Structures are given as C-alpha cells and as structure tokens.
Structure 1
Amino acid sequence: MALRMNASMFVGLFLLSLAWKAAWAKVKVNMEDRVEVFLGDTAQITCMFTVSDSPDDVIIQWYMITKTNVRLRIYYGDSTMQVVDQGGQFTDKISVNGNGKSSEVVLTIRDVTLEDELEFICQVNGLSAGNEEGHTMLKVFESPAHPIIEGVHSGISVSNKNPSKIGSCEAKNGYPRPNITWYRNQSPLQNTPGKVSVVTLVTKESSGLYTVQSDLHLNVVKEDKDSLFYCEVSYLVPGGTKMTETNKINITVHYPTTSLDVWVESPKGRVKEGDTVEVHCRADGNPQPPFTFMHNMEEMKSELNVLVLKDVTRLSNGNITCTALDLDTYEETQGNTELFVDYLDLAILIPKDTHVMAQGEELMATCNALSSLPTHTEWFKKGEKVAEGHTLILKDAVFDMMGTYVCVVKVPSLEGLETSGSLHVLVQGPPEIKESADTVLEESTEKSLNLSCHARGYPTPVITWSSSDESQILKEVSHRQTEDGVLSVVRVKVTSDITAYCNASNDHGTDSISFSIKAKGSGVIIAVIIICILLLAILGSVMYFLYKKGKIPCGRSGKQDLTKPNKDSIVVEMKNDNTEEAVLLGVNGDKKSPSDQGDKYMDVQK
C-alpha cells in the first residue's frame, strides 16, 4: 500500500513539473510597425524573437494580408528547410535571411511596387513553447515631378462680383497623393466664401501614381497688380515630409482710372521755338483708357497717349489738357500741364548792313535781340572775337578796321538758342597799296610770272598796270574785290630786264608800286660757251706740244711761225645757233671769215 502511494506521488510530481515547465515556456516576437521605402527600391522587414525553451526547434512562417484582407503564406522555414511559396505575388522577388536557429529573421523584397504596399506577418512557432507573431506595414513612396504653375493671360477686373481664376498648379505622379497650398506674397490662401476659392482635382494614373491639379479663384483688388502668387507642394517621403515651391507669377489686374499725369516728355528741360514737343498722358488705371488732347481749347490729333507739336513758337504757349474716358462707367477724368516756349528774336544792328566812315572818325554800333531769357552778345571779325557786349566801338578809323563785323547773340542758359547779324564797315580815303614781299625779282628769259597788287581804300580803287617794255601789254589774269579794297594779278613774260607798275586811284587820291624784274640767261647757252672755251684750251695745248717737238715746220727752214697766219693753219669753226655767220678762230686767236678760209676748217702739216 505504501508502495502504491509513493508511485502515485512520483507521477503526480512529474506531471506537475511538466505543467510548471509548460506554464513558463514562452515565444516573444518584436517587429517595427512600418517599413518605408521608395518605389523601385529594396525593402527589408526584420522579425526579432526569443524562445525560452528549445530555441533550436523553431518554425518561421511569413504571411501577407492582401488588399481584400486575405491572409496568405509566402514563406516557411525551420532548422532543416526554407521554402518560398510558389505561384504568389512575391515568389520571385523575396528572400529570407536567417532561420529558426537565430533570433532574427529578415524578409527582403526586391524592386518594390505600389502593389507591395501590404501588411506582412512574421509567425514564430516554438513547439512546446507555443507560437507568436508580429505585424509590419510596408509603405511605398514616390516623389512627384517638379510642380508647374500657369497664370491666366487675360486681365482680371476688380469689378467682378465672383472670384476670378488666377491660375493653375499641377503636381504629377506622386505617391501617396501630394498636397497643394496656394500663397499670395508668402501668405497662404484658404477657402473663404465669396473671396477665395481653391478647387482641387486628384487623378490616379494607370501606374497607380497620383496627379493633383489645383485652381485658385480670387476676388482681386488693385493692390494685387503687384502681388506674387505661387504654389507649395508637400509630399511624404521615407522618414518625413518634403516641400517644393513653384516659380512666382504676377497677374494683370484691371482697375478704373481716378487721376491722370500729364507732362512734356521731350525735349527735356526748357522748350525753345522750333522744337518738336512730345506731351505724354498716363492714367493711374489699367488698362490705359482712350485719351483726348486739347491745346488752348482746341482738340488735337494724337496717337495713343502722346501728343506731338512740331515747330512750336511762342504762340504755342498755354494749357494742354488730357481727358480719359472709362469705357465701363463712361466717366471722364482730366489732367493738364502748361507749355511755355522760350524765344530769341532776330538780331537788330544799329547801324545796319553797310556803314561808311572817314579816316579818323569813331563808330559806335549796337546789337540787341529780344528774348524771354537773359542774353549775351559777342562780336567777331574773320572768325576772331573782337568785342563782347551789346556795343562795338571803333575809334580813329583806319583801313585795318574795314571789313565785316558779325554780332552773335546767345542765350547762355538754353543751348541752341542764338541769332546773329552783320555790319560791313568801309573807311573812306585815298588808295593804299599793301607792300608786296618781293618787288625785286629774277626770272629766266622766255618765262612768265604773276604779279599781285592789293590796294585798300574807299571808294574801291581802280588799278591799272604798265611796264618799261612798251611793246608788252600786261594781261590781267585775276581781279576780285576784297573787304577793304581790290586785288589784281597780271602775268608778265620775261624777255629782258623789265619794270612793271601797279597804279591805284579813287576820288581821294592815288598810290603806286613798281616791280623790278631781272632777266637771267639760258643755262644751255652758258654751258655751250664753257665747253667751247675748254676745247680751245685743249687745242692750244696740243699745237704748242707739236711745235716744241718740231712736228710743225716754221718759215723757210721748215718751221712755221705760229704767230703768223697761214693758209694751212689749224682753225676751229665756232657756230652760234642764234647767228647765221660762222666765226673761224685761228690758232693765234684771230677771227677769220669763211671767205678767207674757203672750205678748210682744220689742216695739220707734217
């Protein structure tokens, strides 16, 4: 009996021990709630677990929850085998790293698609320790393309009662769906009844990606003409949120005109007679309304907002009015400006034109011009300034004062406004011939030269020419008036020494000047004479040499006296192109006529 009781107690204790072990043997699984990955990348889902008893006898199974909420196994593995379930969505694109012998198993999903965004379950079976599973949600992301904004091209009127479309903003191919927010000058715009309306259209493409289009409608005000509108697109990415802004756009706002600005655009500054004036008119409304211009109560033709007045005069002074008509309300708005044209009248000279004064007299001339601005006067003679101010004074008149004096009147403060006049001054008196630099001249015979004679005086002197060669008439080749007299030029042919006379006369007296011309011989004739003398010298030397050598007999003894003429003497014929008679020179230098010598020119006796 005692033995049976001991045996029962042993069995009871054994069963109690097994029950105690079963109560304390457990499996624990730890997984992330979600794993995030970009579309097309590789996802890794980690399953970490612990088994308190027999960790080598663990079975790992992976499951997915389909879109229709069906649980399907995609993987089985234990210490002896690992199997990917065939015929499923992940058959060819998953792998598992680790098995039941380790405490961590990683499910790898390659080339993730949007269809892979599912819930995945890792189940760990510890046999006697029981089983447990963990859940992870795989999230897939795709960043949208850079957003595009486009504003309306037509103008938007502030008078529109309902909000008008401002523009559209589009973000293409994002996942999950992107969000679009509109901004005006960095301030976000929210739907406000009667003022702001944002209409959003979401399109799911065949790829599963989302395209979002947002239209902004707004009740615009005048200040919106300077406003900048843009969109901000926000979208999810693994680990956070990103935002992208569009470029900024400006819209055209139409608003009524309340005032006009009228001004002279050209010329800049003061206006003078003869200018072309441009008057511009601008309204503070948009668009610019049609304009009408009035000049001194007379309607003027204009183009758009510009009035052009050509060749203005002082009569153009007055009021210019610009009137704008609002085509919506038919209300008129006016603006105006005053036009003043500066002027400078023609110069008035006293005396004017030509003034004759006697030698020694004094002249006081004045030059003035009426102007709207202060003037300044200068006097010029032959381009050189001779006086300054409205008055020109000439004292003790002499011929040097004769000529044209030009007075120039300018307005210093306005360039281009000037006038001028001229006064021709004549001084009465007997002629005065200006001395020539060369009154004694030399020239080769048969050449011609010009002689100039300038006589001053008033009345204008009369010039006559004469010469010491009565056979030659001096021909005048030039005759012109100068501002103080007359200038005459004659041509003289030089045949011999000659003196030419210039005579000037008027009602008050006479004056004269002479030109002495020496004739120079021809250079060719001088050269021929020199050559002949040289030849004679050479010939004399030869004859003397022959005489000394006894080659030339003289007298009865066979030698000839070189000092006496002989019919066989050596002679040289000298001819001059200017004479018809030939002169023969004997060795002794005597002249012999051709009749005395016959036809012999040179004969040397041995």
Structure 2
Amino acid sequence: MDARVAASLLAGLVVLLHGLTAWALVEVNMEDRVEVYRGDTAQIVCMFSSDDGIGGVSIQWFYVSRLGEKQKIYYEDATTKAVERGTPFTDRITVNVTAATGEVVLTIADVQVRDQLEFICLIKSLTDGVGEGRTKLLVFEKPDSPTIEGFQEGISIYDDLSKIGICEVKNGFPKPNITWYRNNAPLRGADDVMKVVPSITTESSGLFSVRSELSMKVTKEDKNAHFYCEVTYLVPGGTRMTETNTINITVYYPSTAVQVWVQSPKGKIKEGDSIELRCQGDGNMPSSIFTIKHQGEEYPLESNTYVIANVTRLNSGDYECVSLDTDTYEELSGTTSIFVDYLDPAVVAPAGPVEIDHGEELTATCNALSSLLTNTAWFKDGQHVSMGHHLIVKDVTFDTAGTYQCVVTVPEIDGLETMGTLGVNVNGPPEIVPPKSTDIEESFDSTVDLTCHVRGFPAPTIVWTTLDGKVLETTSEVELEDGIISVASVAVTSDLTAFCNASNQYGADAVAFKIKAKGSGVIIAVVIICILLLAILGSGLYFLYKKGKICGRSGKQDLTKDKSGKDNIVVEMKSDNTEDAILLGVNGDKQPPNHQ
C-alpha cells in the first residue's frame, strides 16, 4: 500500500475514534533571512510546535521561483522522507529534524547566486492544523579589486565635458556600487559640469561587473587634483568598502605672467662663459610660443631654453621673454638683465725686453682693464717676488736678469685672470760663477770636460787656452738669460793648466783649471825595470850558452864514432873562463874563439 494512502487512512481512523474535535494548533518560527557566501553551505532553520506532537505532523519544504511559483523540494511525515526529483536542489539538500525541540534544519550545499530565493517551511498536523514560515536566502560574493584608468591626453580649460577616467569592478554579488572622488571628496555636480555614466554586465556565473566613466569640465585647480573611485559591496552581516589608486590629469590653462632668468651659470658671468636662459609662464597651454628679444633681435626657444655660447661684454643688457598664445593671440612678457664681467689682457710697461746697467734700479708696471677690482702679482722663475701693479728692484745684479711674469686676477670670479711678461737684461762685465773645483785629477790618457758658467750682458765671448798659450777647442756653448755656459774637452797626457777666458765690452774675467795626470811616473819606472830585466835575461842566456846548458852543449862530452868515419867530431869544453874555451872543429882542427 502506498505510504501516503496509509497515512491518510490512519488519520481518518483517528478522527473516527475521537469524534468531532477541533483542529490542532501548529506554530512555526523562522528567521527573515539567511546570508551566506557563494560556494558555502546554507542552513535554514524552521522551529515549530503542535498539539499533536512531532509524530502527528508532516513537514514540507518549498522554494518560490523567480516567477513567483511555489515549488516543493522535500516531504516528511511519521513514515516517509522524500526529496523531490528534478529540482535545482535535488542533489544538494538534506533535512534534519530534532523531535525534542521541534527543530527542522534544511541544509543546502554549494550555494550559488541562483539560489537567492525564498524558502517555505510548511508544518501540517493530522487534524488539519497548518503552520508556515518563510526565510529568504541571500547570497554574496566579494568582487575583484577595482581598477582605474585615466585618459593620457591633456585637457584644456576651454573644452566642454572631457573624459577623466574609467573605474571598473568585476564579479561581485549583489551589484557593487562605484562612487567617484576628487581630493577625498565625492564628486557631485550638474550635468553641464560633471557626468558619470555607469554600465552593468551580468556574467555567465550570475555575478555582476560594474563600469563607471567620469567626464568633467576642468578648471585650473584640477591640475593637481587626485581622482579615485570608492567601491562599496554587501557581505553577510554588513557592507564593505575598497578604493582604487589615484590618478592625475593634465590640465592646460593659459599663462597670466611670464618669467625669464639665467639658469646657468649661477652667480657672476664672465667673458667666455655659456649662458642658459630659461623662459616660462605660469600656464601650460601647448599653443603658447616663447621667444627671446635682445637689442631688437628675436630668438626662438627650444624647450623654453636659450643658450648663448662664449659670451662677451657685448652680450650684456636686457633680455625679454615673450609668450604668445596662438589660440587667443594674447601676449605676455617678462624681462631680466645680464651683465658680463671682463678682464682685458695685461699690459706691461716698458714693453721689454729691457736693458739696465749693473747697480741701477728696475721699475715696471702691469695693468689690465676690468669691470671689477683686480689683484696683481709678479713672479720670476716660478717664485713670487712682488705684489701690486708696480715692480721695483733696486741695485740690480746679474741675479735680477731673467723673465718676469705679472698675473692679474679678479678675486670675485674664479678663473678670470690674465698674464704679461717682461724680459730683463743686466749690462755688466763678465762674472764667472765659481766652479765646484778647479783642481782636477784624471787618469793618464783620459779626457776631461771643463765647464765654465759666465754671467754678463752682452753675452761674453769665451776662449779656452793652456798655460803655454795654446787655444783649446770649445765642445759646446749654451746661451742663458744671464750669460753663457761653455764646455771644453781636454786630453790628459800630462799635468797641465787650462784657462777659461771671458770678455765683453764692459770687461773680462778668467778662471784656471789645474789638471794632474794620475799614473805617469809609475809607467816610466815600469819601462826602466823592463829594460833592466831584459838585460839581465840576456846575460843569463849567454852564460848558460857558454856553460853548454843550451844549444846541445852539456859539460865535457866524448862522442866516439868509427875512427874511419870522416865526420867524427870531438867537442871539448873546459870549465875555465869562456875566453879559454877551445872548440874543435871537424877533423879535430882547433878553432879560434871568435868563430864561436
């Protein structure tokens, strides 16, 4: 028998047994709403009470479709539990009943946006008492982080409504809201000065993506404004908010004033510098054209900059920067003054080179025309000798001769300086600078270089001679500012004396160099000794010869041959004096001594 039919028969039997009775009282309590994130599990609780008790009631769950139709998804009584087939919830719901408390819990797994519906819990007693409760299931999805994009093109204050930017937030539920802000204040205004155009897209998932485009009529004050969007969205139990990054816009507005100034160099300007002029208005209209005017000439600017290379004092004067707006033909200008400091080349008087007699006074001046105060210093051979425009040297000597350099500087400007030179010659007789030594020892048969440094002007004539009046050859001669250095090479074959003789129209001077030849006496002694040794050696050899120690002679020898031989020779040497020695010749003939 069908379970439902059996339940109906049972209910009828109870009616017959009890006779005429009143309907049982059934009460149902449910929350107005249940809120849950998409993908989570929702639990809808139905609390009921009945005079018939839990065993005498049936429980049914319904949902209300978007068309307003009531659709059953679950049934349960004392003997039956059944989930309706073919509904969106068939495979995702479970129902738990707690008899002690009269609590029925409908659990829906993996909640989706389409599940945002109204759910009905219907409790019916066996005596036809009925109770019903309703709960709305609300589904939420936190949207993605919002984005903002600004338009890169500049906007003129003369334009009408211009696009500022676009904000977008995707995949939220319910629909997120976008509010535009400027400098932390929400943007509000009439349609002729501000316009916000929203658009909503429903994704395949049922989530919402919202896009908002802002257009405005900008003012000059908007040049530094920060624009951003605030996004608000619902979550279970409340509302949350997030913001985008900020964007700036480029606002074009006309100038009301123009300035021109020297960008570099900083401080004073000197001849030879390069000047960079900057010209700028307090506006930024692309239609503005800047030019520089100076002494009736106009010079166009690149990037609001004008460069004058290698300036001179002629570049001094007023420079006017002119701004022309080609849209309105309005002209503005600003002016600055430039002064180029200068320092002319140094002028030395007398012009030089100068000649001055020994013992007199040297006076000279050095001046340079300048736009600023100057300092003058005098140097000789790199050494500082005087300060000021005037150079005075009293009682000049040959040490005074040489080249003087005057250096004129401008203390207020580093690197601004000029120089002049003065050559000084001191007239006077030759003066030989004492050599380190005039007594020289050199080896026999060597060569020595003699150096003679002579000061004097006009340049002295130098002649090298020996003690016996012989003129030596000059090896080299170098002319200096204060005189001459002469060098002569001398071959050392014996002791000698050489003279350096210097003279000019004012007088003469000389110095003697004494050269001693080392080793000459020893050589003579060696030669004599060698001659004596040779004489002794000759006598010894002669003696040995007489004694028969050499040339085949050996004391007294008898050499006997066959008496019949014609060539028998007998040699006899007596041990007496050499003069008595007798040599026997061939065949025994006696030979006189002078035939030896």
TM bucket (normalised to shorter chain) is: 0.7 to 0.9
Give the distance between the partners of 1:318 and 1:471, measured in 2 at CA: 78
Task: Calculate the TM-score normalised by the size of structure 1.
Answer: 0.81
Give the distance between the partners of 1:396 and 1:19, measured in 2 at CA: 163
The answer for the alignment partner of 2:345 in structure 1 is 346
Provide, for residues 525-553 of structure 1, a one-character-per-residue CA deviation record: whole Å limited to 9, x for no partner. Answer: 99xx9xxxxxxxxxxxxxxxxxxxxxxxx
Change (3 A) 1:238 1:467: farther
Give the distance between the partners of 2:145 and 2:312, measured in 1 at CA: 63
- Secondary structure of 1:275's counterpart equals coil
The answer for the alignment partner of 1:485 in structure 2 is 483
The answer for the alignment partner of 2:104 in structure 1 is 105
The answer for the alignment partner of 2:495 in structure 1 is 497
The answer for the alignment partner of 1:594 in structure 2 is 538
Change (3 A) 1:54 1:262: same
**Residue 78 (str. 1) matches residue 22 (str. 2):** no
The answer for the alignment partner of 2:586 in structure 1 is none
Aligned residues: 531
8 Å Cα contact 1:290-1:304 kept in structure 2: no
Residue identity opposite 1:238 in structure 2: P
8 Å Cα contact 1:78-1:99 kept in structure 2: no
Query: Once the 2 structures are TM-superposed, how far is the Cα of residue 227 of structure 1 from its aligned partner?
Result: 0.8
The answer for the alignment partner of 2:271 in structure 1 is 273
- Secondary structure of 1:353's counterpart equals coil
8 Å Cα contact 2:322-2:333 kept in structure 1: yes
The answer for the alignment partner of 1:381 in structure 2 is 380
8 Å Cα contact 1:53-1:129 kept in structure 2: no
Residue identity opposite 1:209 in structure 2: L
The answer for the alignment partner of 1:366 in structure 2 is 365
Residue identity opposite 1:414 in structure 2: I
Give the distance between the partners of 1:26 and 1:67, measured in 2 at CA: 32
Query: Once the 2 structures are TM-superposed, how far is the Cα of residue 193 of structure 1 from its aligned partner?
Result: 2.8
8 Å Cα contact 2:472-2:488 kept in structure 1: no
- Secondary structure of 1:404's counterpart equals strand
- Secondary structure of 2:54's counterpart equals coil
The answer for the alignment partner of 1:320 in structure 2 is 319
Give the distance between the partners of 2:320 and 2:341, measured in 1 at CA: 21
Query: Once the 2 structures are TM-superposed, how far is the Cα of residue 386 of structure 1 from its aligned partner?
Result: 1.2
Give the distance between the partners of 2:69 and 2:468, measured in 1 at CA: 148
Residue identity opposite 2:229 in structure 1: C
Residue identity opposite 2:475 in structure 1: E
Give the distance between the partners of 2:106 and 2:467, measured in 1 at CA: 141
- Secondary structure of 1:225's counterpart equals helix
Change (3 A) 1:78 1:430: same
Residue identity opposite 2:35 in structure 1: E
Change (3 A) 1:490 1:178: farther
Give the distance between the partners of 1:344 and 1:98, measured in 2 at CA: 110
Query: Quick check: 44-53 or 221-230, which moved more?
Result: 44-53
Give the distance between the partners of 2:95 and 2:493, measured in 1 at CA: 137
Give the distance between the partners of 1:449 and 1:27, measured in 2 at CA: 148
Give the distance between the partners of 1:396 and 1:213, measured in 2 at CA: 101
Change (3 A) 1:474 1:106: farther
Query: Once the 2 structures are TM-superposed, how far is the Cα of residue 470 of structure 1 from its aligned partner?
Result: 7.3
Provide, for residues 542-591 of structure 1, a one-character-per-residue CA deviation record: whole Å limited to 9, x for no partner. Answer: xxxxxxxxxxxxxxxxxxxxxxxxxxxxxxxxxx8x89x964649xxxx4
Give the distance between the partners of 1:469 and 1:170, measured in 2 at CA: 120
Residue identity opposite 1:292 in structure 2: T
Change (3 A) 1:597 1:287: farther
The answer for the alignment partner of 1:94 in structure 2 is 93
Provide, for residues 252-276 of structure 1, a one-character-per-residue CA deviation record: whole Å limited to 9, x for no partner. Answer: 1111122211111121211111112
Give the distance between the partners of 1:277 and 1:217, measured in 2 at CA: 45
8 Å Cα contact 2:463-2:471 kept in structure 1: no
The answer for the alignment partner of 1:398 in structure 2 is 397
The answer for the alignment partner of 2:207 in structure 1 is 209
8 Å Cα contact 1:58-1:79 kept in structure 2: yes
8 Å Cα contact 1:584-1:594 kept in structure 2: no
The answer for the alignment partner of 1:519 in structure 2 is 517
The answer for the alignment partner of 2:5 in structure 1 is none
**Residue 261 (str. 1) matches residue 259 (str. 2):** yes
Query: Once the 2 structures are TM-superposed, how far is the Cα of residue 600 of structure 1 from its aligned partner?
Result: 7.0
**Residue 189 (str. 1) matches residue 187 (str. 2):** yes
Given candidates 284, 287, 290, the residue that maps to 1:286 is 284
Change (3 A) 1:84 1:427: same
Change (3 A) 1:495 1:110: farther
Give the distance between the partners of 1:494 and 1:39, measured in 2 at CA: 122
Provide, for residues 165-222 of structure 1, a one-character-per-residue CA deviation record: whole Å limited to 9, x for no partner. Answer: 1111111121111111111111111241311111111122222221111111111111
Give the distance between the partners of 1:91 and 1:150, measured in 2 at CA: 45
Give the distance between the partners of 1:466 and 1:19, measured in 2 at CA: 177
**Residue 120 (str. 1) matches residue 64 (str. 2):** no
The answer for the alignment partner of 2:435 in structure 1 is 436
Give the distance between the partners of 2:334 and 2:487, measured in 1 at CA: 73
Give the distance between the partners of 1:224 and 1:358, measured in 2 at CA: 86
The answer for the alignment partner of 1:225 in structure 2 is 223
Query: Once the 2 structures are TM-superposed, how far is the Cα of residue 294 of structure 1 from its aligned partner?
Result: 1.7
Change (3 A) 1:521 1:133: farther
Give the distance between the partners of 2:436 and 2:395, measured in 1 at CA: 27
Provide, for residues 199-253 of structure 1, a one-character-per-residue CA deviation record: whole Å limited to 9, x for no partner. Answer: 1111222222211111111111111111111111111111111111111111111
Query: Once the 2 structures are TM-superposed, how far is the Cα of residue 489 of structure 1 from its aligned partner?
Result: 2.7
Change (3 A) 1:248 1:496: farther
Provide, for residues 274-330 of structure 1, a one-character-per-residue CA deviation record: whole Å limited to 9, x for no partner. Answer: 112111211222135222222211223543422222221111111212222211112
8 Å Cα contact 2:285-2:325 kept in structure 1: no
The answer for the alignment partner of 2:196 in structure 1 is 198
Given candidates 154, 161, 164, the residue that maps to 2:162 is 164
The answer for the alignment partner of 1:10 in structure 2 is none
Query: Once the 2 structures are TM-superposed, how far is the Cα of residue 359 of structure 1 from its aligned partner?
Result: 2.0
Residue identity opposite 2:116 in structure 1: E
Structure 2 unaligned residues grouped into runs of 5+: 1-14, 556-596
- Secondary structure of 2:230's counterpart equals strand
Provide, for residues 103-149 of structure 1, a one-character-per-residue CA deviation record: whole Å limited to 9, x for no partner. Answer: 22222111111111111112223434823121111111112211111
8 Å Cα contact 2:150-2:247 kept in structure 1: yes
**Residue 463 (str. 1) matches residue 472 (str. 2):** no
Give the distance between the partners of 1:127 and 1:173, measured in 2 at CA: 48
Residue identity opposite 2:136 in structure 1: M
Query: Once the 2 structures are TM-superposed, how far is the Cα of residue 151 of structure 1 from its aligned partner?
Result: 1.1
Change (3 A) 1:179 1:596: same
8 Å Cα contact 1:163-1:196 kept in structure 2: yes
Query: Once the 2 structures are TM-superposed, how far is the Cα of residue 508 of structure 1 from its aligned partner?
Result: 0.9
Change (3 A) 1:369 1:86: same
Give the distance between the partners of 2:463 and 2:336, measured in 1 at CA: 71
8 Å Cα contact 1:433-1:456 kept in structure 2: yes
Query: Once the 2 structures are TM-superposed, how far is the Cα of residue 521 of structure 1 from its aligned partner?
Result: 3.9
Structure 1 unaligned residues grouped into runs of 5+: 1-14, 530-575
The answer for the alignment partner of 1:150 in structure 2 is 149
Provide, for residues 448-480 of structure 1, a one-character-per-residue CA deviation record: whole Å limited to 9, x for no partner. Answer: 343322111111222222245878843413x22
Change (3 A) 1:241 1:490: farther
Task: Calculate the TM-score normalised by the size of structure 2.
Answer: 0.82
The answer for the alignment partner of 1:36 in structure 2 is 35
Query: Once the 2 structures are TM-superposed, how far is the Cα of residue 388 of structure 1 from its aligned partner?
Result: 1.4
